Amino acid sequence: MTNKARKKILQNIQRALNRTELSVGQQQTLRETIYYSKKNNEFITGNLQMLFTEKATKAHAIVNTCSLTSVPSYILQILKNEKLPFIIRAASDLPIHWRDYPELRVHEGKALISDAVSVTSSLCGVAETGTLVLLSSRASPSTLYFLPIIHIILLDKQKIVPYYEDAIEMVRELHLDPRMIHFITGPSRTADIEQSLQIGMHGPKQLYVLLI
Amino acid sequence: MQLFTSNEFKDNAKAALQNPILQQALNNIRHGFVEKRAQAIAKMPHYDEVRNQAIQIKNHTLKYLDFYLQEFETQVVASGGHVHWAENANDACQEVIGIANRIKAKLITKSKSMVTEEIGLNAALEQSGFDVVETDLGEYIIQLRNESPSHIVAPAIHLLKEQITKTFYEAHTSLNPNRKLDNIEQLLNEARFILRDLFTKADIGITGANCLIAENGTCVMVTNEGNGDLTQTLARVHIVIASIEKIVPTYRDAFSILRLLPRSATGQDITSYVSFSKGPKREHDLDGPEEFHVILIDDGRSKLIDSEFQDILRCIRCGACLNHCPVYQAVGGQAYGTPYPGPMGAVISPSLFGLEKTKDLPNASTFCGRCEEVCPMKIHLPTMMRYYRNQEFKKKLTPRWHRGIKLWAYFAKRPKLYHWWASKLINILGRFGEKKGRFSYLPFASEWTNFRDFPAPAKKTFQQQLKKGKTRDQQSA
C-alpha cells in the first residue's frame, strides 16, 4: 500500500508543479545551496549570561551560580528544603565525586516513575530564550529529563550561545549524532484548564539551572 | 472517516450563543491568548523579518516538495526508522493498525496531534480493538467526555473547571470518591497520577510533528506538558504522524518557524520542550523506542499546490486566527463541526473534506481581516474564504433565497428603476418607524430583531435629499 501511495503522492505533487522528478544535477545544486547556506539574521546584543538568566527565570526556571565542587551540597540543600529523602538519579557523565558525600545516595541509569530528583548536564544554554540543550545518550537517557519531579541541570557558563542555530552547530562540531536533542525552557506546564497557567504537568515541576 | 457536522453550523452556532457556560469559558480566550500574543510580539523587534523568512522557507519547500520528502525519507531510513506514505485518511489509519497488529499492541498512548483528529485515528484504532489514551491534559479531558476538540492548541478551552471536576469523579472510579477536587492543581495532579502509569505500559506512542527536517530525517515536536516526550520515549514503538507540508529543508528553517509558533499560539517565547527525534533506540541506549515510524499523509494536500489555496499549506497551526476571530470567540470551536475551526478551518476544512460537507464555514466570517493580520505566515484567509463563497454560488450550494441577490443585481444595474423602487421602500419603512425611530420587529429579519432593534431609515433616500439640496449638513448649518 505504502509504495503505491508513495508513487501517487509524488506524482500528484509533480503534476501540480508541472514538472517531472528533479535531475541528479538539480538535486545536488539544491543540497549545496540550501543545506550549507548562511545563518539566520542576528538580533541579540549584550551579555549572554545575563540574557540567558533573565529568559530562563521568566520561564520559571531557578537559576543559580555554583562551583563544581559545591554541586552536591547545593543538591542536598534542595532535598532538605523539599523534605525529600537524600536520593537522586544522576547522569553517569557528570564530573562530580559523589563518594565525598556519603549521605547522598546516587543512582545512575534511566529514570523510573518513583524517582523524585534527577541531575544531568547540558550541552549548552541558548540566550535567545533561556533554553537548555540536552542530548540523549547511554550516560544521560532522555527519561531523566521528563520523569522526575525535580530536574537539576548543570550548565557551563562558558557554553551559553546566542541562538538555537549555534547549539546545532556545536553538536556538529563535536561530531555528536544524538538520537534526541531536547530544548528545555523551564519546568513543564499547562494552561489547558480555563487558560490558567499551572507549573508542573507531566514533566518536572521544578527546574534548577546551576551555572558552573 | 470522521463524521462532520459542519453543515449544521448555523444551528450549532445558535446553540453555542445561548449556552451560558460556554460563553463564560470563551471569555478566557480574550484575556489569555490574545493579550499574551500581543505582548510576545511587541517584545520581538525582528518579528517581521522572521515572518518573511518563514514564508520564503515554506514557499520554497512547496516548490520542491517531492524532493524534500524523498530526502527526509532517505535520512529517516538511514537512522534506522521506517517511512510510510498514505494518500488519504483511511490508508493512514490502516498503516497504524498494521503496525499495531504486527507488534501485538494493546495500549496506545498519544500526544496531541491535529492530523490524527483529521483522519479519525482514535475511532479507527478503537474499532480494531486497541485501547487509546490521549495524554495531553486538554485532549485527555475531552476524550473522557467523548467530545471533539474546540481549539487546535487548547482542545478543552470550552470547558469550566467545575465540568472537568465532574468528569474526573465519574471517570476515575478507582480513586477515593470523597477526595477533594475543587481546584485546578488537584485536577492536574490527578491526571498526572493516572497517566504516569500508562506511559510506561504503552506498546505504541503516537505523536504529531510540527516540522520534519529533510537534511537529517529529524521530527520536531513542541509541547509544554512533557507528555509528548514521555509518549515517545517510554512506549515500545514510536509512530510520528505528519502531513506532507510539515517538511522544512534544514534545522535553521525549523528555527525560523519555532520563533513564530509559540509566540503566535500561547504568547510564549518558546514552549517548555522542543524535541528533535531521529530514529529508534541505539544499541547501548537505556531508553527510547525499539521501532521508529513516520507516516506521511497527503489527504488532499498535494492537490492544493499551485491552486488559489496553496498558501494555506504554509499554516503552522498556531491558532492565532481562531483567537482573534469574532465569530470563533462568539461560538467556540465545536460549532464548526470539523477538527479545524475558525478562519484557518474555514479554508482547510473545505479544501480537505470538500465544500459540499463544509459549505457554511467560509461564510462564518465577518471579513474583519484580523485573522490575516495576526497570521505569522501571512495567509490571505479572507480572500480564500471569498473564493469558496464564489465556488458555492457557482455550484448552487447556497440556500435558494441567497440567489435573491440576482434580483437585487437586476435593479442595481438599472439606476433609474433602482432609485424609484428604493425611494418607495424607504418611504414606507420611514413612515412606519417614524414614531419610535426603530423597529423591534421586521418580517424576514427576525434574526436581527430578535436580538436588537433595527433603526428606522429617513423617509427620503440620500439621492432624493441631495437633489433637493437638503442634506443633513445643510439643515444643521
pLDDT in tens, B21-70: 999 999 888 778 999 999 999 999 899 999 999 999 999 999 999 999 99
Reported as type and span, the H/E element at residue B388 is helix B381-394
List the single residue in B with minimal CA-CA distance to A38: B252
Q: Residue A196: how many CB atoms within 10 A of its CB? A: 14
Distance from the A101 Cα atom to the nearest Cα atom in chain B, whole angstroms: 26
Q: What is the pLDDT of residue A8?
A: 96
Which residues of A fall within a CB distance of 8 Å from B31? 195
Confirm if B269 and B37 have CB atoms less than 8 A apart.
no
B272/A180 touch (CB, cutoff 8 Å), yes or no? no
Q: Quote the CA–CA distance of B475 and B458 in Å, as a whole number.
A: 14
Alpha-carbon Rg for chain A, nearest whole angstrom, is 22
Q: How far is CA B253 from CA B172, B372, B433, in A?
A: 43, 22, 62
B225/A203 touch (CB, cutoff 8 Å), yes or no? yes
Closest C-alpha to A111, from A151, A165, A153:
A151
At residue A59's C-alpha, the angle toward residues A53 and A64, to 5°, is 35
Q: What is the pLDDT of residue A34?
A: 80
Q: Which of A5, A27, A203 sits opposite B85 (nearest CB)?
A: A5
Q: What is the 3-state secondary structure (H, E, C) of A130-198?
A: CEEEEECCCCCCCHHHHCCCEEEEEECHHHEECCHHHHHHHHHHCCCCCCEEEEECCCCEECCCCCCCE
Q: How far is CA A2 from CA B86, B100, B296, B355, in A?
A: 6, 16, 10, 28
Q: Quote the CA–CA distance of B423 and B467 in Å, as a whole number.
A: 13
Tell whether the model's pLDDT for residue B476 goes beyond 60.
Answer: no
Q: Quote the CA–CA distance of A32 and A127 in Å, as a whole number.
A: 29
Q: Quote the CA–CA distance of B450 and A36 in Å, as a whole number.
A: 63
3-state DSSP assignment of residue B122? helix
Interface test with A, best of B63, B225, B243, B351 (most A CBs within 10 A): B225
Q: How far is CA A120 from CA A112, A139, B182, B341, in A?
A: 15, 10, 36, 42
Cell numbers for A20: 517531472
A17/B63 touch (CB, cutoff 8 Å), yes or no? yes
Q: What is the pLDDT of residue A40?
A: 66
Tell whether the model's pLDDT for residue B475 goes beyond 70.
Answer: no
Distance from the B253 Cα atom to the nearest Cα atom in chain A, whole angstroms: 9
Cell numbers for A165: 542555530
Half-sphere exposure of B149 (CA within 13 A, CB side): 27
Q: What is the pLDDT of residues B194-222, one digit of tens each?
A: 999 999 999 999 999 999 999 999 999 99
Q: Is B399 exposed, middle or buried (0-12, 13-18, 19+ CB in 10 A)?
A: exposed
Distance from the A119 Cα atom to the nearest Cα atom in chain B, whole angstroms: 16
Distance from the B147 Cα atom to the nearest Cα atom in chain A, whole angstroms: 15
3-state DSSP assignment of residue B17? helix
List the single residue in B with minimal CA-CA distance to A108: B286
Would strands A150-155 and A206-211 be described as parallel, antiparallel, or unpaired? parallel
Distance from the B185 Cα atom to the nearest Cα atom in chain A, whole angstroms: 7
Question: What is the band of B406 on the pLDDT scale with cuts at 50, 70, 90?
Answer: confident
Q: Quote the CA–CA distance of B26 and B280 in Å, as a whole number.
A: 41
Whole-structure pTM value = 0.93
Q: What part of B 59-88 touches A (C-beta under 8 Å)?
A: 60, 63-67, 69-71, 79, 84-87
Find the mean pLDDT for residues B388-405.
Answer: 84
Confirm if B72 and B65 have CB atoms less than 8 A apart.
no
The distance of Cα A31 from the centroid of its chain, to the nearest Å, equals 28
Question: What is the band of A25 on the pLDDT scale with cuts at 50, 70, 90?
Answer: very high
Which residues of A fall within a CB distance of 8 Å from B271? 185
A146/B229 touch (CB, cutoff 8 Å), yes or no? yes
Closest C-alpha to B192, from B223, B168, B216, B173:
B168
Q: What is the pLDDT of residues B71-105, one digit of tens each?
A: 999 999 999 999 999 999 999 999 999 999 999 99
List the single residue in A with minimal CA-CA distance to B151: A192
B288/A180 touch (CB, cutoff 8 Å), yes or no? yes
Find the mean pLDDT for residues A108-130.
Answer: 97
A183–chain B Cβ distance below 8 A for any pair: yes
Find the mean pLDDT for residues A9-23.
Answer: 96
A176–chain B Cβ distance below 8 A for any pair: no
B341 residue type, one letter? P
Report how far apart the first and last C-alpha atoms of chain B are (Å, whole number).
67
Query: Sheet containing A105-107: which strands, arranged edge to edge?
Result: A62-65, A206-211, A150-155, A117-121, A87-90, A105-107
Question: What is the band of B453 on the pLDDT scale with cuts at 50, 70, 90?
Answer: confident
Which residues of A fall within a CB distance of 8 Å from B109? none
B227–chain A Cβ distance below 8 A for any pair: yes
Q: What part of B 169-198 touches A (C-beta under 8 Å)?
A: 184-185, 187-188, 191-192, 195-197
Helix axes B415-432, B405-412, angle to 10 degrees: 120
Find the mean pLDDT for residues B231-247.
Answer: 98
Q: What is the pLDDT of residue B245?
A: 98
Closest C-alpha to A108, from A144, A154, A145:
A144
Total beta-carbon pairs less than 8 A apart between chain A and chain B: 243
Q: What is the pLDDT of residue B1?
A: 39
Q: Quote the CA–CA distance of B215 and B231 in Å, as a whole number.
A: 25
Q: Residue A25: how many CB atoms within 10 A of its CB? A: 8
A200–chain B Cβ distance below 8 A for any pair: yes
Q: What part of A 60-89 touches B (C-beta under 8 Å)?
A: none
Interface test with A, best of B229, B256, B307 (most A CBs within 10 A): B229
Q: What part of A 28-47 touches B (C-beta under 8 Å)?
A: 30-31, 34-35, 37, 39-41, 43
DSSP 8-state assignment for residue B32: I
Q: What part of A 109-168 touches B (C-beta under 8 Å)?
A: 109-111, 113, 128-131, 136-138, 141-143, 145-147, 163-165, 168
Q: What is the pLDDT of residues A124-157, one digit of tens each?
A: 999 999 999 999 999 999 999 999 999 999 999 9
Q: What is the pLDDT of residue B18?
A: 92
DSSP 8-state assignment for residue B30: I
Q: Which of A41, A110, A193 sits opposite B161 (nearest CB)?
A: A193
Strongest mean pLDDT among A2-6, A158-162, B445-449: A158-162
Q: What is the pLDDT of residue B85?
A: 98
Tell whether the model's pLDDT for residue B474 goes beyond 60.
Answer: no
At residue A193's C-alpha, the angle toward residues A191 and A197, to 5°, is 30
Closest C-alpha to A115, from A79, A154, A147, A81:
A147
Q: What is the pLDDT of residue B75?
A: 97
B197/A203 touch (CB, cutoff 8 Å), yes or no? no
Q: Quote the CA–CA distance of B419 and B336 in Å, as a whole number.
A: 40
B244–chain A Cβ distance below 8 A for any pair: yes
Q: What is the pLDDT of residue B215?
A: 94
* Contacts (Cβ under 8 Å, ≥6 apart) of B401: none
Q: What is the pLDDT of residue A1?
A: 61
